[in-house]
């Protein structure tokens, strides 16, 4: 069972999933592996980590395409070379077309740094602080055509502390993301 992970930057969630697959009995039991890490940015730091771990990498630069549809078609072609059971968005900062989402229906997931359905979109941590939220968190969810919607697969909650900045809150949430995202991948692969 092949897992393909899409990143745009650091890829720390991708790294957490790779490490979990390397360590985990579940990966061996289900013949599961991270088959490829694909980025829309050539300078995404996570590509280096993937290469060091012997994982195939590819770049599909969205700037080389005139339309979202053309980019998504090229991206899907690259993904489908690996015949994925699961496609994992991990800090992948592109909005995907309905056609792309439909093509991967049932096998496309994302992690979002808020307690969905609150705070879809960007700047989730600053918005949670500004609203006076006592709690924040992260959500693993299925991807549908509507941004940051789709069934919730797992969540983690963290407190918002009195002196939090967006950066300190983001760091607290991210440590939880690294726990729940590999766990969700494992559960889906086992199904
Ligand atoms: C994470 O907070 C994720 O929830 C959001 O972007 C961040 C990506 O971090 N979508 P990383 O690239 O996995 O380190």
Q: pLDDT (tens digit, 0 to 9) for every residue of the chain, 191 residues total?
A: 999 999 999 999 999 999 999 998 888 889 999 999 999 999 999 999 999 999 999 999 999 999 999 999 999 999 999 999 999 999 999 999 999 999 999 999 999 999 999 999 999 999 999 999 999 999 999 999 988 899 999 999 999 999 999 999 999 999 999 999 999 999 999 98
Residue nearest to atom 1 of ligand 1 (CA): 91
pLDDT of residue 55: 98
pLDDT of residue 191: 85
Q: Is 147 annotated as a binding residue?
A: no
Distance CA(78)–CA(74), nearest Å, equals 6
The label of the residue with tokens 């967006």 reads 166
Distance CA(113)–CA(100), nearest Å, equals 23
pLDDT of residue 25: 87
pLDDT of residue 63: 96
Vertex 174 angle, CA 48 and 82, to 5°: 45
CA of 11, closest atom in ligand 1: 12
Task: Return the CATH fold of 2-190.
Answer: Rossmann fold (3.40.50)
Catalytic residues: 112
CA of 138, closest atom in ligand 1: 4
Exposed/middle/buried for residue 89 (C-beta within 10 Å: 0-12, 13-18, 19+) = buried
**ipTM of the assembly?**
0.92
pTM of the entire predicted model: 0.96
pLDDT of residue 148: 87
Q: Is 96 annotated as a binding residue?
A: yes
Sign of CA dihedral 60, 66, 68, 73: negative
């Amino acid at each position: 069972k092949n897992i393909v992970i899409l990143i745009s930057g650091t890829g720390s969630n991708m790294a957490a999933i790779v490490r979990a697959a390397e360590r985990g009995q579940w990966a061996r039991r289900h013949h599961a592996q991270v088959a490829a890490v694909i980025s829309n940015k050539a300078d995404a730091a996570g590509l280096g980590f993937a290469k060091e771990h012997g994982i195939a990498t590819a770049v599909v630069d969205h700037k080389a395409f005139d339309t979202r549809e053309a980019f998504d078609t090229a991206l899907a072609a690259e993904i489908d070379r690996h015949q994925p059971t699961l496609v994992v968005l991990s800090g992948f900062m592109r909005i995907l077309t309905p056609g792309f989402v439909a093509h991967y229906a049932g096998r496309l997931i994302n992690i979002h740094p808020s307690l969905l359905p609150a705070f879809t979109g960007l700047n989730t941590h600053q918005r949670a602080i500004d609203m006076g939220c006592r709690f924040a968190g992260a959500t693993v969810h299925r991807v549908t055509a509507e941004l940051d919607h789709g069934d919730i697969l797992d969540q983690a909650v963290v407190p918002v502390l009195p002196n939090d900045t967006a950066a300190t809150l983001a760091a607290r949430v991210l440590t939880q993301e690294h726990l729940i995202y590999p766990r969700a991948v494992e559960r889906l692969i086992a199904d």
